[in-house]
Chains A and B, each alone.
Chain A
Amino acid sequence: MTTDGAGLCFVGIGSPHGDDRAGWQVAARLQERNLAGWDVHVAASPIDLLDWVRPDRPLWVADACRGDRGARVWQEWRWPTEELSVTWGGGTHDFSLPGVLTLGQRLGRLPADVRLWGIWGGDFGAARAAGDQLGRVIEEVVEEIVRVWCGGDVGPTSPEVVPPGAGHA
């Protein structure tokens, strides 16, 4: 799943199981928007994002997450942030999203602008349907991502700058 151009690499991570499909659905909605310069992919494991990441273009990622979320249904982070290890502690082959991003950084593959959209899910059971609310949340996240992109709030940011994650109920 790839659009033309190479202005931004977007990766939706997920699986076909329950709410875990959130990242794939965000990627699919963005693909439908046909945003110029976007290179959109889906991955089953975070490690796959290293197939496409390049230091010279921003990397944005969407993935389902779980844990203590309070009233939030989705949240945005900028990498690096310690919060991620709580939210995305596990992963296939033990390659969690934070672990893969750390690996990418260690290998000099990460761009300065790495953003993550986490969508909290409840049921990740094998072959289960997505939750009733997921569709609405996906649309919200997609709108926010497009807003950020179109608003020009993009481009290289210092990896040292770690703004607090904006929570959304």
Chain B
Amino acid sequence: MTDTRTVRVEILSRVEGEGALHIETRQGRLERVELQIYEPPRLFESLLRGRPLEETPDITARICGICPVAYQMTAVHALERALGVQITPEIRRLRRLLYCGEWIESHALHIHLLHAPDFLGYDSGLAMAADHPQEVNRGLRLKKHGNQLLEVLGGRAIHPINVAVGGFYRAPRREALQRLIPDFEWGLQAAIEATRWVATLRFPDYCRDYHFVALRHPDEYPFNEGRVASSRGEAIDIDDYERRFAEVHVPHSTALHSETRPDGGCYHVGPLARIALNRDRLLEPARRLADELRFETPCGNPYRSIVARGLELVQAYAEALDILRDYRDFQPHRIPYGHREGTGCAATEAPRGLIFHRYQITADGLIEFAKIVPPTSQNQKQIEDDLRDWLPGVLDRPDAELARRAEELVRNYDPCISCSTHFLKVHRHDH
């Protein structure tokens, strides 16, 4: 036995991807931290090549069962830019409504069943349900609202099939959306209560000076467009994204890491970043709640991302209600276009953060090149940086506690591959 300690954390989840954590110390000092993630987007990029661009929304939706809307929305926006398609305000609002559904489904689940157990001392949402059935039932009901919206707008809740380049294959009838209003009115109040509840949780006293990156739009909280803004005062066009951010290979992961150019730094995307850069764009119920809870902006405590998610849950309900109440049947629901050679990129805001796509298309409408940068890839380097910063203070703890607390730190980011409460499992080796 030497003075080297290795904490190996590994589990493979079934569909969304694989995650593992490797922590190594020597002489009581942290030597190596690697978050190892294996995700399928690379495969999907290859799969898209040579296919008609019209298939892209349905194929990219299959990248993720949790946030298909973010993938297909970013795809259609990028392709519309390549084709020069201008959508109508009605289509744009309907797309924002679809995004509301995905945020509600994703945030409600993470807040109530994945993240809250960390602060209440439970191993899982299942364990928490025994003592907090009301909160768990609320989370499940809110999550259901998100799925209902996806079903009405997307044709079905999983991998929606109604999204098309140029708009929607079919626009929902006003009556179908109006029927959702009573549930969403209840949901808005429930989301406010949920956020008040999570704001009372005890959070570790840990704070960082993050480089936050999120979309920022002149008039609205960011879902589907805007400039790429950062907490360092930058605001760049989407077309310049790849000049400022790059994906790099790292030996310990098949997923690419994103970093800033030219300094190779990490950055943080997701709810904390969005609120830090867009608090003034929150709708009134969410902004008022942020004030009531004295939610600091920017907030550098990653554990308080659960409160940020709650505020965004309120935001999504408030915007969804606005759109549902105003909705009128409209035509056209799909803008016609012709094929042409071109390149287009777009960024939108998935529940977990900024997502970027770029496509190159041929004159006959085939995908020649595709690039997809998911939020978890962008946060991966930041997560490792957090762990490197935080672990030295707890290295004296037993392996089980070290692993549990490392898991909690990772879970603040709601990584798409492994939001599970048992994301990490420890295997310790003493050399």
By a beta-carbon cutoff of 8 Å, the part of chain A in contact with chain B is 1, 15-17, 20, 42-45, 47-48, 50-51, 90-95, 99, 102-103, 106-107, 124, 126-127
Contacts and interface: CB of A to CB of B under 8 A. Distances in A.
Contacts of B16: 92
B109 A106 contact: no
B125 A1 contact: no
Contacts of B130: 106
B419 A93 contact: yes
A16 B62 contact: yes
Given A99-B126, A107-B137, A16 B40 contact: no
B404 to A, nearest CB: 14
A91 to B, nearest CB: 6
B65 A45 contact: yes
A48 to B, nearest CB: 7
A106 B133 contact: yes
A1 B14 CA distance: 24
Q: Which 7 A-B pairs have the closest CB atoms?
A: A94-B420, A44-B65, A126-B40, A44-B158, A90-B14, A51-B144, A93-B419
B215 interface: no
Interface in B272-294: none
B410 interface: no
A1 B136 CA distance: 26
Contacts of A16: 62, 159
Interface residues of B, number: 37
Contact of A43 (B47, B124, B158, B418): B158
B140 interface: yes
A102 B126 contact: yes
B43 A91 contact: no
B221 to A, nearest CB: 25
A1 B156 contact: yes
A92 B66 contact: yes
Given A48-B147, A90-B13, A93-B114, A106 B47 contact: no
Given A20-B15, A45-B65, A127-B47, A94 B133 contact: no
Nearest to A20: B15
A135 to B, nearest CB: 20
A42 B65 contact: no
B147 to A, nearest CB: 6
Interface in B140-155: 140, 143-144, 147
Given A90-B12, A93-B109, 7 more contacts: A16-B159, A44-B15, A44-B66, A91-B13, A106-B126, A107-B133, A127-B44
B14 to A, nearest CB: 4
A127 B158 contact: no
B415 to A, nearest CB: 11
A45 B140 CA distance: 13
For A42, A48, A126, the residue with the greatest tally of chain B CB atoms inside 10 Å of its CB is A126
B387 interface: no
B29 interface: no
Contacts of A124: 14-15
Contacts of A95: 113, 420
Contacts of A43: 157-158
24 contacts: A1-B156, A15-B15, A15-B62, A20-B14, A20-B15, A44-B65, A44-B66, A45-B65, A48-B147, A48-B158, A50-B144, A92-B14, A92-B15, A93-B66, A93-B109, A93-B420, A94-B13, A94-B422, A99-B124, A106-B126, A106-B129, A107-B136, A107-B137, A127-B62
B147 A51 contact: yes
B421 interface: yes
Contacts of A44: 15, 65-66, 158-159
A1 B43 CA distance: 29
A45 B44 CA distance: 21
A16 B136 CA distance: 29
Contacts of B421: 93-94
A93 B19 CA distance: 12
A83 B66 CA distance: 28
A92 B416 CA distance: 9
Contacts of B126: 99, 102-103, 106
Instruction: Give the most central of B65, B130, B136, B423: most A CB within 10 Å.
Output: B65
B136 A91 contact: no
B417 to A, nearest CB: 10
Interface in B168-207: none
A106 B124 CA distance: 13
B206 to A, nearest CB: 24
B180 to A, nearest CB: 14
Interface string B54-79: 00000000100110000000000000
Contacts of B147: 48, 51
A127 to B, nearest CB: 6
Contact of A94 (B65, B144, B423): B423
A138 to B, nearest CB: 18
A92 B136 contact: no
Contacts of A102: 126
Contacts of A107: 129, 133, 136-137, 140
